[in-house]
């Protein structure tokens, strides 16, 4: 499924302070069109938000956002670059150091 990075400007302070983590409306309305909201980043000044979605087309992403009441400035088609591919596994937690000589 294609992935899209959505850039949004939050003009309304109430919109910026919305509890995004528990917003079931976004999840419910986005899945109707084959769109899945993966996660979002709220910029520290709370005026911009970047959200990652999976969906069939940019138009499907726009439709889901309209139904959820979310503004969209632009949509970028993106490719995932994963430093930990599934076949390599994840590294151990923390840095690894050799035992000191001696």
Instruction: Report CA-CA distances (Å) from 38 to 50, 55, 99.
Output: 11, 10, 41
Q: For the chain, give the mean pLDDT.
A: 75
Identify the CA nearest to 9 among candidates 36, 45, 38.
45
Task: Yes or no: say if 30 and 64 are a contact pair by the CB < 8 Å rule.
Answer: yes
Give the C-alpha separation, 5 to 2, whole Å.
10
pLDDT confidence of residue 97: 46
Reported pTM: 0.67
Taking 70 as the pLDDT cut, the residues of the chain under it are: 12-32, 86-102
Query: Domains in the chain, please, with CATH?
Result: 3-78 (3.30.70.3090)
* Tokens at 100, concatenated: 């000191």
């Amino acid at each position: 499924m294609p992935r899209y990075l959505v850039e949004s400007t939050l003009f309304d302070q109430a919109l910026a302070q919305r509890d995004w983590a528990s917003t079931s409306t976004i999840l419910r309305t986005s899945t109707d069109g084959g769109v899945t909201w993966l996660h979002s980043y709220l910029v520290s000044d709370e005026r911009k938000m970047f959200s990652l979605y999976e969906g069939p087309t940019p138009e499907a992403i726009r439709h889901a956002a309209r139904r959820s009441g979310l503004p969209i400035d632009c949509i970028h088609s993106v490719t995932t670059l994963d430093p930990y591919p599934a076949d390599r596994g994840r590294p151990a937690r923390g840095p690894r150091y050799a035992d000191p000589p001696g």
